[in-house]
Homo-oligomer: A and B are copies of this chain.
């Protein structure tokens, strides 16, 4: 099976890059793509990262650990729900390492369902550049905070801010949906997802008992916040009649048989019109 690095998306309008999520593999992912790498400045030695911001979809290690790779001395905007920001800044002092110089990391609270612009150069607000912006919206999903969030800490956060999807809309009106962790399929999203041009959807597990069978114990896919692909309530059946978007499974666990191109499960997914994400894929909206 071709190994994948952990789920990571980066978007750009040509002026800087915004990350969607911050995977633990971020440094290797940046090193694999020249466009994301720091550029030498006029002085020759100091370097400037083209990454100007991050949008967080949750507080899971695989969605936030990459922030610790971004310890440059430049301003960076980190958009997330109030609850996610509280968890990272109040309960995890290590993210203070993003504040090596004053005004370096700016934590920006985002309400689920409210659109905000991203991927414009920081401190730019001219009309021309507005046109080049991408609009972003967090879609509240029915997930929970990661297990590391203590019971006491849960009293100070809001469950509907725990896990989000991201919907990106380009200036031309094209939309991409990024939903790496979907605990439950909600019929109210159907119209939203049908209007998208690209759908990147939670493909973590093929079956609900996948990890339990392998490890002999532990949680089901659903209990871990991921509806399985297969089965009666699975994503393959539930999203079968989405016609407009290009559909692709992402966030695929290394136990998921769809990763093996020879497997029956792989063929079933492809037959149903889905793609299986790989590293370094690009989408133009």
Contact = CB atoms under 8 A, between A and B. Distances in A.
A240 interface: no
A87 interface: yes
A24 B69 contact: yes
A46 interface: yes
A19 to B, nearest CB: 16
Contact of A68 (B28, B65, B99): B65
Interface of A: 24-25, 27-28, 43, 45-46, 59, 61, 64-65, 68-69, 71, 73, 87, 91-97, 99-101, 146-150, 153, 214-215, 217-218, 255
Contacts of A255: 45
A97 B147 CA distance: 7
Given A24-B68, A28-B27, A61-B68, A93 B96 contact: no
A36 B46 CA distance: 34
A93 B87 contact: yes
Contact of A94 (B27, B45, B61): B61
A97 B255 CA distance: 20
A93 B150 contact: yes
Contact of A93 (B25, B97, B100, B148): B148
Given A45-B214, A218-B101, A153 B93 contact: yes
Return the 4 tightest CB-CB contacts between A and B, nearest first: A96-B148, A65-B68, A28-B28, A61-B97
